[in-house]
Amino acid sequence: MAGHSKWAKIKRDKGANDAKRGAIFTRLGNAIAIAAKGGGDTSMNPTLALAIEKAKAANMPNANIEKAIKRGTGELGGDIIEEYMFEGYGPGGVGIIVEAASDNRNRTTTEVRTAFNKNGGNMAESGSVAFQFTRKGVITVKASGEDALLTILDAGADDANEDEGEIVVYADMKKLGIVRDAIKEAGLEVTDAELQYVPNETMNIDDATQARKVMKIMDAMEELDDVVNTFYNFDIDESVSLD
């Protein structure tokens, strides 16, 4: 499942570097603004609460968070940020879903389409890729061992997989907050919780040349300021050397 491929680990490392450069604050701010369109009260808007938690975990200043909330609720006026989803195929036919937040649909669509076309992929019609994925709540827990897995499943998770000192948990999208809170109450450390598009099946890539092509298109998407998140149905085999 998503979160266990070599690309997922590279993406996490890249995210840490982006945070140092401040680039990630733009994406986090856009995610908060989108969530705040459902209301600025976190007690009534769990999606906003999750977005703020993620921003705070990345050390985003409170002033930036407050500004993003007001931008989403319309208190600041100006152009309204909207959420967009793009679907496409990368090299070798891998499926890619791109979530973006922008105040200019035409600009964002052009940038995403260009990233696909210049890197061996192509934009696809709405629904032509998404059917290969399921929307789920995904929670990352800093824990390991059978006892932790059993505790997580008892908290209401649908599935959980251990990987290098952490456990990736999958839950019904409507129960994300409930399962996350139950895991916390059980004494386990939750490091991330968000809604994701999880692939129903994954394509294993065990060829280094193919892996580099796929990573190039994913890097191109990640570098776009309007892109909030990317989801994919490939898994780069751990045996593949990317040096």
Counting residues of the chain whose pLDDT is more than 70, the rounded percentage is: 89
**Average pLDDT for residues 188-209, to the nearest whole number?**
91
Q: Identify the pLDDT of residue 3.
A: 40
Name beta bridge partners: 84: 100
Q: What is the pLDDT of residue 1?
A: 39
pLDDT in tens, 55-87: 998 889 999 999 999 988 888 876 778 889 999
| Dist CA 103 CA 114 (whole Å) | 18
Residue with the larger pLDDT of the pair 209 and 7: 209
Region of 127 (left: φ > 0; alpha: ψ -120 to 50; beta: rest) is left
CA 21 vs CA 16, 154, 227: distances in Å: 9, 39, 16
Is 110 a residue whose pLDDT tops 90? yes
Q: According to the per-residue pLDDT averaged within each range, which of 54-63, 109-118, 137-146 is highest?
A: 109-118
Q: Which two tokens stand for residue 8?
A: 């997922």
Rounded mean pLDDT, 94-101: 94
Amino acid at 102: S
Is residue 11's pLDDT more than 90? no
CA distance 167 to 3: 10
> What CATH number has the domain spanning 6-73?
1.10.10.200
Res. 234: pLDDT tops 60: yes
d(CA 156, CA 242): 38
Compute how many other C-beta atoms are within 10 angstroms of the C-beta atom of residue 145: 10
pLDDT of residue 30: 87
Q: What is the mean pLDDT of the chain?
A: 88
Q: In Å, how far from its chain's centre is CA 33?
A: 16
Burial of 217 (0-12, 13-18, 19+ CB in 10 A): buried
Q: Which residue has the tokens 């999208």?
A: 173
Q: How far apart are CA 216 and CA 187, in angstroms?
A: 39
So what's the pLDDT on residue 13? 60
| CB of 169 closer than 8 Å to CB of 157 | yes
3-state SS class at 203: strand
List the Cα angle 118/115/86 in 5-degree steps: 135
Q: Give the integer Cα–Cα distance in Å for 201 and 178.
A: 26
Q: Is the pLDDT of residue 23 over 80?
A: no
Q: What is the mean pLDDT of residues 163-191?
A: 91
In this structure, what token pair is assigned to residue 11? 């993406």
Two tokens at 147? Answer: 């006892």
Degrees to nearest 5, angle at CA 113 with 117 and 223 = 95
Name the more confident of 26 and 156: 156
User: So what's the pLDDT on residue 133?
Assistant: 97
This prediction has a pTM of: 0.83
